[in-house]
Amino acid sequence: MSERKRACQDCQDELDAVLIGIADADTARAVRQHLTGCPDCARQAAELQQVLGSLLTALPAVPMPSGARERLLESARAQPQAPVAQSQPAARPTLPSRTRPRPFSRRWTLSLAAGLSAAAALAAFLIWPAAQPSVKQADVVINAGGTLILARSEAMNSPLVIRRADGKLSGVAVKQPLPAWYTEGVYSGGKAYLLDAANEQLVVLNVTSGKIERTYPVPGGAAGLAVKDGSVYVKSAASGELRIFKGASCYINKLAKPTKMPQADYMDAVLPLPERILVTQHTTGEIFALSPDGEKVLAVYPVGGAPVGLQSWEGQVLALDVQGRLLELGLQGQVERSLKVSGHPDKISVMKDRAYLTDRGGMVSVVDLKTFKVTQQRIFGKPMDIVAMPNGHLALADAVRGLMILNADLSEL
């Protein structure tokens, strides 16, 4: 078997487990990466998700006993399987080796669907303990007053989790044909806005009702997000475009040339200010200063490196460079102060006179903004996002350790 066929075979062998949510993180990540570049496998993923979607999103309300999903899967896999013709896509990354080599087939899909349908019917006559949405893995965290919103990439069951001030959790189902890749989220006017770059959509969640209000199409590697005066600004890293949504209308400001990049490199930021809007383009090392409506370019700041984060602090602008710098910019975009930071930090949050930087490599750094020096660093699992909370604590989204509530000194509560 050629390497190209093997990559598709590996993807199809693991697709069911990824969509249901029982695959390990490395396998899920490899499948997601393959699907972004293989139209044939992506089509089969969409077909399988369509069959499973209504069943699997309904089951959490009456959760299955421990091990039931795995037993159903093994039973379905034991059914006779029909071969599937394969196309010849370009070479793809090889997925982690697993002990269940089998061809993906519609017959297997229908067998699995039948098994899950039977389980759903049986569930109507059984009383099982209520399941809690998981916070053991998190990629984006949003502060909504005393409520936290978590976005979990690759999770098909309740990819969004609402954590109320009293600690109560509730899951939110989202229509997503592919395993999600959440890149950014913000809160405004009672709504949480979340970017899912894998499914090229902006999801709008009503925090009070816990319902999805609508979605917007955001192709091209959506990564930067801001909401101001009823307008939603979405920056796509790969396409170089800024999309501005005002109700049902959409204006596209093409700021840079399109650039091919993997999903892991979808990084950029949008920062609304009173008289301008700042937008990063990390592929060119530039920050664009736009008119308040985002439609005209007022200036271009060539800060160099790869700027991916923006925050305001005491009238100044902080720009985070994923190549390892924190910059303080003047009114004309000039670099006033520059701090070398170890690793590749890609998210920033500010609380009082401190900036908190997260690095997917494991490090969270604290910067004293008065002295512009790193005062503390601590290793976690895989920090993906961090946000300051009204009570002076920090919420850390860690892809390995899940949601963590921290004190200002990074100690755990």
Query: What pLDDT does 104 receive?
Result: 39
Q: In the chain, where does the domain assigned CATH 2.130.10.10 lie?
A: 140-406
The DSSP call for residue 59 is G
pLDDT string in tens for the chain (413-residue length): 678 788 888 888 888 777 765 666 678 778 877 887 787 887 777 667 655 544 444 444 444 444 544 444 454 444 444 343 333 333 333 444 433 333 334 444 444 544 444 444 433 333 333 345 889 989 999 999 889 999 999 876 789 999 999 989 999 999 888 889 999 999 999 999 999 999 999 999 999 999 999 999 999 999 999 999 999 999 999 999 999 999 889 999 999 999 999 999 999 999 999 999 999 999 999 999 999 999 999 999 999 999 999 999 999 999 999 999 999 999 899 999 999 999 999 999 999 999 999 999 999 999 999 999 999 999 999 999 999 999 999 999 999 999 999 999 999 98
Report the C-alpha gap between 399 and 250 in whole angstroms.
33
CB 317 within 8 A of CB 307: no
CATH classification number, 140-406, choose in 1.10.3210.10, 3.20.20.70, 3.40.50.720, 2.130.10.10: 2.130.10.10
Instruction: Give the torsion sign (CA, 207, 404, 57, 17).
Output: positive
Decide: 276 and 316 in contact? Cβ < 8 Å. no
Closest CA to 383 of 159, 139, 157: 139
Q: Any residues with CB less than 8 A from the CB of 121 and at least 6 apart, and which?
A: none
Contact 4, 89 (CB under 8 A): yes
d(Cα 406, Cα 366) in Å, to the nearest integer? 13
Q: Are 289 and 280 in contact (CB under 8 A)?
A: no
Sign of CA dihedral 73, 77, 81, 84: positive
Q: Determine if residue 314 is left, alpha or beta; phi over 0 gives left, psi from -120 to 50 gives alpha, anything else beta.
A: left
Alpha-carbon span 106 to 83, nearest angstrom: 10
Beta strand 394-398 pairing with 383-388: antiparallel
**According to the model, what pLDDT value does residue 312 have?**
96
Q: Which token pair is 288?
A: 């664009």
Tokens 């990049």, residue located: 261
The residue type of 45 is A
C-alpha atoms less than 13 angstroms from C-alpha of 210 in its C-beta half-sphere: 15
